[in-house]
Amino acid sequence: MKFFSTIKDIFAIDELRTRIQNTILFLVIFRLGSHILLPGLDYNIISNQEATQGMLGFLDNFLGGAFSNKSIFGLGIMPYISASIILQLMQVAVPYFQRLQKEGESGRKKITQITRVLTIIICVVQSFGFLATIDANAIVVNPLSFKIFSILILVAGTMFCMWLGEKITEKGIGNGVSMLIMIGIISRLPGSVIAEFALQGMSGAFFILIELVMFFIIVMGVVMLTQATRRIPVSYAKQIVDGKVYGGQRQYIPLKVNAAGVMPIIFAQALMFLPAMLAKVWENESDLANSIGATFSDPYSWQYSLAFAILIILFTFFYTAITINPNQISDDLKRSGAFIPGIKPGEQTAEYIDAVLSKITFPGAVFIAIVAILPAFANIANVSSGFAQFYGGTSLLIMVGVVLDTIQQIESYLLMKEYDGMMKSGKLKDRGGNVAVA
């Protein structure tokens, strides 16, 4: 009853209802585009091809089948993510981009424009690798004109996906880019579960039960990690104004163990796609390209797992460093008359916050990396490759992170409604009839 009551409250808020409807509409458009075939291909040949395997199959899982369908959204949002990674790295290393970051809204607009241009460049490069995976027999028009028009269509498809992501963030619920990736992953989950039951059969019912129990434990572990925080106590100096004492209360600075969220996983995964796709372009011209392609086309190889884990740890520290500034927190505390008990305000406070952040970020990054490579161990335990991708791994981390973020946004609307209701009912009014201000 509480669940249905919550659903009723959600759709009772006009703005929230509109945002949910917009999000569903944009996601439906994205899924429809994932099934529109590139012009000039024989549908019968494409539909009869074997499922994409290895690293390209892993990429196909993130795109909801758009890659194997050879659709106009065949590259999805991944080129945009790669461009975002490069730009964020430049904001740390290149002075010009550091200045843009400090210019406020105008600087952000310039960075956004540069990101879009870089997205187009990356999309053109990745399009060659994408087209190299298409069977020549499936092309029913002139091959040269097909490649030229397909590259233009793939670039337009990626830019449209990027636009959909921005619109979801602006007019919908949740982070648009993360939502597009999540819906692509979820679309493959039912088929993977059915395939796992078909593989194990009735004789493997006990094994499937163990799988489901382990899956539940891993999900709970990921949720706990995502929600875990380290609270730093903060006290406010007492002030006497007009004979009244203000301040003196104790509050907390909540530092998340996983402050970077799902972005390090998405960034690391985007980089892991590049070696296999680039090697596909030069597979017939270089033995080194063949070796690299074979190594990084298998998401369950130890080389891939090791490189993936290292990238996740590095990106977790990097993204945490650019999103949480201990010096800024220290300055804000000093201006508001707050201090951390036992720590001198100013530089020592910044150093203390930075030390705490480093201590909690490392175990969080290691845990995320371990969960991300769990599918390799699940595959060793004879779990089907399709279901193993959800058995921990990037798919699970992204789904849990996006769902929790979306739920938090919905809860903020529900809390706002409850607060407005209390204001109208007079529960926050003092005895003199004036609204009490906290």
CATH architecture entry for 13-187: Orthogonal Bundle (1.10)
Q: What tokens were used for 290?
A: 């063949």
Q: What pTM was computed for the model?
A: 0.71
Do the Cβ atoms of 306 and 268 come closer than 8 Å? no
- Residue tagged 């892993």 (tokens): 58
Query: What does the pLDDT profile of the chain (438 residues) look like in tens digits?
Result: 666 777 777 777 788 888 888 999 999 999 888 888 888 887 777 766 655 555 566 666 667 777 777 888 888 888 888 888 788 778 777 888 888 877 777 888 888 889 899 999 999 988 888 888 787 777 777 888 888 998 999 999 999 988 998 899 888 888 888 888 888 888 877 777 777 777 766 666 777 788 778 888 888 888 888 788 888 888 876 665 555 655 556 688 888 888 877 778 777 877 777 776 666 666 666 666 667 667 777 777 788 888 888 988 988 888 888 778 888 888 888 887 788 888 888 888 888 888 888 888 888 888 888 888 888 887 787 777 667 777 766 777 778 878 888 888 888 877 776 655 544 544 444 434 443 333
**CA 179, CA 399: separation in Å to the nearest integer?**
9
As a three-state string, the secondary structure of 233-260 is: EEEECCEEECCEEECCCEEEEEEECCCC
Contacts of 341 (CB under 8 A, 6+ apart): 233, 235
In this structure, are residues 207 and 200 in contact, taking their beta carbons and an 8 Å threshold? yes
